Amino acid sequence: MTSTVPALGTRTAEGSALQAVLLDMDGTLVDTEGFWWDVEVEVFAALGHTLDETWRHVVVGGPMTRSAGFLIEATGADITLAELTTLLNDGFEDRIGRSLPLMPGAGRLLAELYEHDIPTALVSASHRRIIDRVLAALGPQHFALTVAGDEVSRTKPYPDPYLLAAAGLGADPARCAVIEDTATGVESAEAAGCRVVAVPSVAPIAQTDGRTVVSSLEEVDLAFLCSLMTEMC
């Protein structure tokens, strides 16, 4: 599956200005943010380095180039960015092959959006090889479009991934609801002009004007997402 899947016709929820829902993957739909850190710890341990727990907040939610580059610089490990990227992706694929837990409420929300024909996209900083593995568990039928971090010239925190997803679905970014779990993802979605629901996973995210923060996807349903757009109707 690629980021250039033909978009479905834009269909809105009745009585709402909501045109599409764009969802992050790691830490938002699947409980995998911890997997990435565990793999990073294991890979660097094999290289003879111990990662500082405080670095976890630096690398969470970002593109592989940023997180891997930071860890190489911080540890002084003798490994190239390309070599480390391969090791991290291999380790992560092994982890999700053994277990891939969904976040609470994720399955129910995806089913509801699908039932009501809401155009939905998966927008992740993870690479295509990872997204395609995770899609098997999430159900590819739930997404009209997927955007991978290695398929855009600038991934999160830049707005490009969310602008690409909105355009692919034929939606106005301002009428798209985005669900994210990290500050990096929130920054990306807000820069694209989307309405953001933050469900913090590893680090807290502050509530601000135009941003809604909830503790779990169990608090989010279609009516909730439509309500974010009522002031635009």
Q: Is the pLDDT of residue 8 over 60?
A: no
Query: Which tens digits make up the pLDDT trace of 26-78?
Result: 999 999 878 888 999 999 999 999 999 999 888 776 778 888 999 999 999 99
Cα–Cα distances in angstroms (integers) from residue 128 to residues 25, 43, 80, 133, 154, in the given order: 12, 21, 21, 9, 15
The C-alpha atoms of residue 143 and residue 196 are separated, in whole angstroms, by 19
Residue 43: phi, psi to the nearest 5? -65, -45
Of 194, 185, 151, 206, nearest in space to 29 by CA: 185
The C-alpha atoms of residue 141 and residue 107 are separated, in whole angstroms, by 12
Q: Which two tokens stand for residue 3?
A: 């980021």
The C-alpha atoms of residue 8 and residue 106 are separated, in whole angstroms, by 22
Whole-model pTM: value is 0.82
